[in-house]
């Protein structure tokens, strides 16, 4: 079986997924074979160059050309344009891997979930951090009870790429295109990990901030309004009674990529920091103090495919593993997690945070 | 001038303050001389032994004996018994250093502030962390504008001393004695630092948890109810628009003493961790990455009194410096910060967090 | 131009180089095109499977078939079998990238250098760590004078893969195959970095140890003698007067991959640790304390080809960059560094360490 | 029993020991009582002020006045003036605590050892780092076999207090007063810890460097020659076969106080860094990765005398504990370790390093 692959979008995540497809034969030879068939984007030159660079047979500026030509659609466009192509693909029986956040509204997400339910296609939502070895090991610790009952969760996602008021405006600053801001873009990763590792979230109190409310537009004299949040704080309670704190920012001076998650349990505590993505810090029962595990042993998740101990992987490997699992699920007529229901659950949290910020009240999820 | 000193209480903070008084002559010879005159406590043997050990002339089980005998009263008892002796001392013109939290209710705190306002005595509230060199350096950075406008504040206070359900019940688990739990005991330190460094807090959303709701009583077969929180989460907004996240816990497995504060500003970011109390991590304008400053140079606050660079101080030094400043203020007929108004402001925050937790609403401070 | 590539050996470094060749088109599209033509190895099944997996057109068990078929030969065999195929290739005008250590004897290295000098082919020795962005940035700091005159160098290479006496014997424990042990295998990386960054080494005092002198042979009841060192210590002096300390071990319990280098200069100090290979710690003039630079900005060496800031690379990227530079040198009729003269200079250091260990005397390098 | 105490010298270590004596009654009430009787120094005003500040009854500029007046003599002068007062004190039956390095020559140290052997007095050499809780815990790990057989030792002592060529000349730069330089001053601490933790050292290869060979004299226009080393490197082999690497520097830019020791054993590895002196990093059998132990639990050595977990101690506490043990030994007619034999053994190592540097040969100890 060779799966024909189509991409919508040719930005960073397109590069990451194309790279993953390129690497699978060397490192995961049992993965289904794929053919990078067609890639769509708005700018004809841009998408044509991307097709060359990323190894696609051809390119188009009309995404409607893509669905009929492929077995699998990768939806890598801004979130407001996720729903339409996804629904069309699913209605044609095409498998869909859609980047996160799944949707900018709960209703759009619901529509995507319903369509997926009516289809035999495999669907996935691009929460790639799940597929890092260290996060997989964290999941194992949780499932094997090494941490006991989880009490506290802390998820951060602090970056500084818009810390300066002179940093340029991007579509991520526009509510119409991006839906929400930092809370959707970064927060959704944290919310996904928390739900996956600990379980459903019952309620949230949220706080959104727009620290810098207009930004210069590159190549012009214009400054454009920032209509999305650039920082957020969230208090959450899980169905289980565990509590969580989340915060994120695009304007956090000094923070290159402080994407962290910590689980504090009755028997142990574990934490992960994305800038040191080959490491997991844990303090398990009987330990004095936190240990830094180099998650690079052959018995660690996915690691036997790569290099010897201590020869760390990079961020991109999360996407390789994600593609391996997603394509394997297609071959096996199986299901893939995180799916659209997960994406929708995360969208509901983002929505609840926004409502809590507006009303000043704790908001139940659902 | 030799100041006669009286202590109420003979626990850990009594040891810390007695130690501080003992050290001032060697390291801060210009501080007022003091005489450890009398110490009061409930248990006759306990307080008598403490008097010997801590260098007091005599002990008593009746705190009312102390006030007439001294120039300065140190109120080191549980917070529900702060108000009465403090008011009596102030009405007699005796200076008062009262441990934090100042009071377990806003009304008690208000009474203490009013009495202090009517008195010429110097008053202080025991937020000793302000007096660590690293925190003083952080304050300097803020005041000199090195961090620019503060955007985000993060304050944690995670400990594990009651992480196990078998850890014994203490008075800190009893709402009648302690007022609130972790949010008062630990949170008040974080709230004080945040207010001191950034300014008044406008509103909070809070979450309180009692993870383990009963505990064994040492030396008995009894288990007693825990009527205070053992963990909290808080979202706050400052008058300035800056936002803060606070969290704390007594049941945080693995965390010996994660007492941290981080200020993210428009020009720089700085953070402190109490387990590495001689260090301050900063990323200032023009820096790539966080630097770890060893706050042990002679030009650092208080450090010229002690040892060469890299020969770090301990926790106790915060209390030495606090005593130095407090006693100097008495000698100079000056004022001392943090005073009772500060203690009351913090009590208001604790109270607002509690109300927010109950109502699920954001609560304005005042 | 499409370069025909042949590999001798199909172990870990073969996988790393094949992977690098596979990635160049996506991330370094201006690199010369390559064709993985033929791969040689001793075991017919092993090499045949490797050919499939690594994307070679065909395989052979006779390395002499390779040279006539290719433009570039990658010598990825144990060091005692580097000389013969390298010499044959060079005499046929085939370019050679030879893994480190270049040779197990000074005389073999001299023969390789001489043959290279008589040839127009481009030669390289596989000191891949040079090509990590953090090490490249370190080189920039040195060249721009940010560190001033280098005073002290510290290079470690501690691993634990043979820390247990039950860890299996490998060819690296056999002096006939490997030449020297840890000092050649790991030390040669450290010596190369030190020479490249600081300059020629004048003399060394060395200490070699075989901590565990026999090991079980996998799949047998036999224990075989370890005839190479498993740990070393070296004091060195550079021509410039700077001094260095090196140590390495295969039996260093707890150390997954402590491959570090630190340069202490008159104006600043910088250090690198391979387990955190996206970071460089520096303390430059005017700094208080060491900063941790995330070497993941677009302006950092090679990083613009990859991902956004804070999305770290892995170990394998060093090999991608090395291949990019080596193949580009071939296209440009240029030269490549590290070349065979570098490999020989490192072999001389290894040899001097061995002689110093035997005689107890400081040994001049040449 | 109240022991009369006399000090020779009133510099930093005098402050540290006076402070220790002052604190013992509060924290180690069972320690012998002491009376700070007399302190001697060259400068009349200086020593008189020191007497006031440090709580001595009187001062003198003639050290010969001290011995007859006291039970215990603290020799806190530069090392070339250790022998004479020590010998005189011992011949009078006065106990002696002598700062390290014990002597600047092997012969002076031998004389001190012989005199001590002929006396009933208790003698000690001021290797205070042994008495830090983290180092004591490390010793426990070694003795309980947690690390197994020690294979490698690494001891560093890097500081930057003379990193700049403009940093002032001190007596530590003068071979006549200080004996050796960095290798004696700092190295002796490392050598002591290594011997105490691992056992006798059999041979060394050493390297001494004087990076900056003259320095300005404070308050003058003069520059004076530096006649001691300011950096050293040492390879050592223990009688047990373990090997060690030591390095130290006063000119190590960026290093405030990198005083570290690491023991790599067959079962585990442990390391200590003086700038984080409340921590011990260990990887014991069965651990994956290094744990950071906060050595602040009540069951840790000495800690029950101080504060709750996570409320760290400072450098000075090492000296408090040292005084507690030394004075207790006097009361108990016992012996104290480290004694003069230890001090002499360390002096022999320093001497051997110097000879090895001169001759380029490995030098046997003894």
- Three-state SS for chain A is CEEEEEEECCCHHHHHHHHHHHHHHHHCCCCCEEEEEEEECCCHHHHHHHHHHHCCCEEECCHHHCHHHCCEEEECCCHHHCHHHHHHHHHCCCEEEECCCCCCCHHHHHHHHHHHHCCCCCEEECCHHHHCHHHHHHHHHHHCCCCCCEEEEEEEEECCCCCCCCCCCCHHHCHHHHCCCHHHHCHHHHHHHHHHHHCCEEEEEEEEECCCCEEECCCCCCEEECCCCCEEEEEEEECCCCEEEEEEECCCCCCCCEEEEEEEECCCEEEEEHHHCCEEEEECCCCCCEEEEECCCCCCCCHHHCCCCCCCCCCHHHHHHHHHHHHHHHHCCCCCCCCHHHHHHHHHHHHHHHHHHHHCECEECC
Using an 8 Å CB-CB cutoff, list chain D residues near A289: 291-294
pLDDT in tens, C246-298: 999 999 999 999 999 999 999 999 999 999 999 999 999 999 999 999 999 99
Question: Among partner residues B16, B161, B275, which is closest to D312 by beta-carbon distance?
Answer: B275
Q: What is the pLDDT of residues C256-267, one digit of tens each?
A: 999 999 999 999
Q: Which residue has the tokens 């402590």?
A: C258
Length of chain A: 366
Q: Using one digit for the tens of pLDDT, what is the confidence trace for D324-348?
A: 999 999 999 889 999 999 999 999 9
> Considering only CA atoms, which of A50, A38, A44 is closest in space to residue A4?
A38
Q: What is the CATH number of domain A129-313+339-364?
A: 3.30.360.10
Each residue of C95-132: pLDDT tens digit? 999 999 999 899 999 999 999 999 999 999 999 999 99
pLDDT digits (tens, 9 = 90+) for D282-303: 999 999 999 999 999 999 999 9
Distance in angstroms (rounded) separating the CA atoms of residues C16 and B3: 75
Most distant CA pair in chain A: distance in Å?
61
Name the percent of chain B in helix, strand, coil, to the closest 5.
Answer: 35, 25, 35
Q: Do D292 and A294 touch (CB under 8 A)?
A: no
Q: Which two tokens stand for residue D28?
A: 């180690």
Minimum-distance CB partner of C235 among D154, D233, D251: D233
Question: What CATH number belongs to B129-312+339-364?
Answer: 3.30.360.10
Task: Give the model's pLDDT for residue C90.
Answer: 98
Closest by CA position to D152, among listed D276, D249, D236, D260: D236
Q: How confident is the model at residue A1 (pLDDT cuts 50, 70, 90)?
A: confident
ipTM of the complex: 0.95
pLDDT, tens only, A104-121: 899 999 999 999 999 999
pLDDT reported for residue D177: 86
Contact of D292 with chain A, judged by CB distance below 8 Å, is answered with yes
Chain D residues whose beta carbon lies within 8 Å of the beta carbon of residue C207 = 205, 235, 237, 243
pLDDT for position D366: 77
Residue (of B192, B137, B166, B153) closest to B251 by Cα position? B166
Domain with CATH 3.30.360.10 in chain D: 129-310+338-364
Give B155's Cβ-side CA count (13 Å radius): 24
- List C-alpha distances in Å: C95 to C38, C89, C106, C226, C327: 15, 7, 22, 35, 10
Secondary-structure percent of chain C, ordered helix, strand, coil, rounded to 5? 35, 25, 35
Residues from chain C contacting residue B290 (CB–CB below 8 Å): 291-292
Instruction: Round the average pLDDT of chain C to a whole number and report it.
Output: 96
Q: Rounded to an integer, what distance in angstroms lies between the CA atom of residue C271 and that of residue C135? A: 9
Q: Start-end ranges of CATH 3.40.50.720 in chain D?
A: 2-128
The pLDDT of residue D108 is above 90: yes
Q: What is the mean pLDDT of chain D?
A: 96
Reported as type and span, the H/E element at residue D51 is helix D44-54
Q: What is the C-alpha to C-alpha distance for residues A216 and A223, in angstroms, rounded to an integer?
A: 4
Domain with CATH 3.40.50.720 in chain B: 2-127
Closest chain B C-alpha to C293 CA, distance in angstroms: 5
**Does B331 lie at the interface with A, CB-CB under 8 angstroms?**
no
Q: What is the pLDDT of residue B161?
A: 96
Element (H or E) spanning C34, and its range? Answer: strand C33-40
Check the CA dihedral B140-B141-B142-B148 and report its sign: positive
Name all chains with 3 or more CB-CB pairs below 8 Å to chain A.
Answer: B, C, D
Q: What is the CATH number of domain A2-127?
A: 3.40.50.720
Whether pLDDT at A180 is above 90: no
| CATH superfamily, domain at D129-310+338-364 | Dihydrodipicolinate Reductase; domain 2 (3.30.360.10)
The per-residue pLDDT for C342 is: 98
Instruction: State how far Cα B120 lies from the chain centre.
Output: 23
B29 φ/ψ angles, rounded to the nearest 5 degrees: -60, -20
Which residues in B lie closer than 8 A to residue A209 (C-beta atoms)?
Answer: 241, 243
Distance CA C13, CA D84 (A): 65
- Cβ separation of B291 and C290 shorter than 8 Å? yes
Indicate if the pLDDT at residue A48 is higher than 90: yes
Specify the pLDDT at position C366: 76
Could you count the other beta carbons within 10 Å of the beta carbon of residue D274?
23
Give the count of Cβ contacts less than 8 A between chain A and C.
107
The domain C2-128: what is its CATH number?
Answer: 3.40.50.720
Q: Are A178 and A78 in contact (CB under 8 A)?
A: yes
- Token reading at A125: 């939502």
C278 neighbors A277 (Cβ within 8 angstroms)? no
Chain C residue at shortest CA distance from D209: C243
Residue C332: pLDDT over 90:
yes
Q: Which chain C residues are Cβ-neighbours of B285 within 8 angstroms? A: none
Cβ atoms of B17 and B128 within 8 Å: the answer is: no
Q: Please, are residues C109 and C343 in contact by the beta-carbon 8 Å criterion?
A: yes
Residues of chain C within CATH 3.30.360.10 domain(s) are: 130-313+339-364
Mark yes or no for CB contact C253/D269 under 8 Å: yes
State residue A256's pLDDT score: 97
- Distance from A200 to chain C by nearest Cα, in Å? 29
Residue ranges matching CATH 3.30.360.10 in chain A? 129-313+339-364
- Which residues numbered 142-161 in A keep a CB inside 8 Å of some CB on C? 159, 161
Rounded to the nearest 10 degrees, what angle do helices D106-117 and D340-359 cross at? 160
- Helix D187-198 with D133-143: angle, nearest 10 deg: 30
Q: Residues in chain B with pLDDT < 70?
A: none
Residue labelled with tokens 């800056």: B242
Kind and range of the H or E run holding B248:
strand B243-249
C245 at D interface, C-beta within 8 A: yes
Q: What angle do CA A68, A71, A74 make, to 5 degrees?
A: 95
* CA–CA dist A299, A296 (Å, integer): 8
Evaluate whether D93 touches D70 at the Cβ level (below 8 Å). no
Beta bridge partners of D88: none
- Residue D244 DSSP code: E
Q: Measure in Å the smallest separation between the Cα of D194 and chain A Cα atoms.
A: 25
| Nearest CA among D123, D130, D77 for reference residue D103 | D77
DSSP C99: P
CA dihedral A348, A351, A356, A358 (to 10 degrees): -160
Q: Within an 8 Å CB–CB cutoff, is residue A172 touching chain C?
A: no
Asked whether the beta carbons of B296 and B189 are under 8 A apart, the reply is: no
Choose among C233, C358, C361, C238: nearest CA to D356: C361
Backbone angles phi, psi at C282, to 5 degrees: -140, 150
For the beta carbon of residue C2, count every other beta carbon within 10 angstroms: 10
Question: Distance between CA D293 and CA D60 in Å, rounded?
Answer: 46
Token representation of residue B57? 């002339």
Minimal C-alpha gap between B289 and chain C (Å)? 5
CB contact under 8 A, D311 and B15: no
Per-residue pLDDT tens for D53-89?
A: 999 999 999 999 999 999 999 999 999 999 999 999 9
Which pTM does this prediction carry?
0.96
Residue pair B132/B301 in contact by the 8 Å Cβ criterion: no
* Distance of alpha carbon A86 from alpha carbon A77, whole angstroms: 11
Map residue C159 onto helix, strand or coil.
coil
A315 CB neighbours in chain C (<8 A) are 307, 311-313
pLDDT for res C177: 86
Is residue C157 within 8 A of residue C258, CB to CB? The reply is: yes
Smallest Cα–Cα separation from B157: which of B237, B272, B243, B290? B272
Q: Contacts of residue D256 in chain C, CB cutoff 8 Å?
A: 289
CATH code reported for the domain at C130-313+339-364: 3.30.360.10
Distance CA C101, CA C216 (A): 26
The pLDDT assigned to C1 comes to 76
Which chain C positions have a beta carbon within 8 Å of B283's beta carbon?
A: 291
Please tell me the distance from the alpha carbon of residue A52 to that of residue A350, in angstroms, as a whole number.
37
Residue C149's closest CA among D160, D253, D248?
Answer: D253
**CA angle at residue B73 from B68 to B76, to 5 degrees?**
130
Over residues C20-33, the mean pLDDT reads 96
Cα A72 from Cα A75, distance rounded (Å)? 10
Whether residue D274 and residue B29 make contact (CB cut-off 8 A), yes or no, is no
């Amino acid at each position: 079986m060779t799966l024909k692959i189509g991409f919508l979008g040719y930005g960073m995540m397109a590069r990451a997924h194309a790279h993953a497809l390129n690497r699978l034969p060397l490192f995961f030879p049992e993965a289904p074979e794929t053919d990078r068939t067609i890639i769509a984007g708005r700018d004809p030159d841009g998408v044509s160059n991307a097709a060359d660079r990323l190894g696609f047979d051809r390119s188009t500026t009309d995404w409607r050309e893509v669905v009929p030509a492929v077995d699998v659609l990768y939806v890598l466009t801004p979130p407001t344009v996720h729903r339409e192509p996804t629904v069309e693909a699913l209605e044609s029986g095409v498998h869909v891997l859609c980047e996160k956040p799944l949707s900018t509204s709960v209703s759009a997400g619901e529509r995507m979930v319903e369509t997926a339910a009516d289809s035999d296609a495999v669907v996935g939502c691009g929460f790639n951090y799940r597929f890092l070895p260290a996060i997989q090991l964290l999941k194992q610790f949780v499932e094997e009870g090494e941490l006991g009952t989880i009490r506290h969760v802390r998820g951060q996602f602090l970056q500084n790429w818009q810390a300066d008021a002179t940093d340029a405006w991007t579509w991520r600053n526009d509510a119409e295109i991006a839906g929400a801001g930092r809370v959707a873009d970064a927060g959704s990763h944290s919310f996904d990990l928390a739900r996956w590792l600990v379980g459903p979230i019952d309620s949230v109190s949220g706080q959104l901030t727009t620290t810098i409310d207009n930004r210069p537009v590159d190549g012009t004299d214009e400054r454009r309004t920032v209509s999305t949040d650039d920082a957020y704080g969230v208090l959450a309670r899980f169905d289980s009674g565990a509590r969580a704190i989340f915060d994120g920012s695009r304007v956090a001076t000094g923070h290159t990529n402080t994407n962290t998650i910590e689980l504090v349990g009755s028997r142990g505590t574990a934490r992960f920091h994305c800038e040191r993505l080959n490491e997991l810090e844990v303090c398990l029962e009987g330990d004095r103090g936190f240990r830094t595990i180099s998650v690079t042993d052959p018995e660690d998740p996915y690691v036997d495919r790569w290099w010897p101990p201590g020869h760390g992987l990079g961020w991109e490997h999360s996407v390789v593993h994600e593609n391996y699992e997603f394509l394997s699920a297609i071959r096996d007529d199986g299901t893939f997690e995180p799916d659209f229901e997960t994406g929708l659950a995360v969208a509901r949290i983002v929505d609840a945070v926004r409502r809590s910020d507006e009303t000043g009240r704790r908001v139940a999820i659902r």
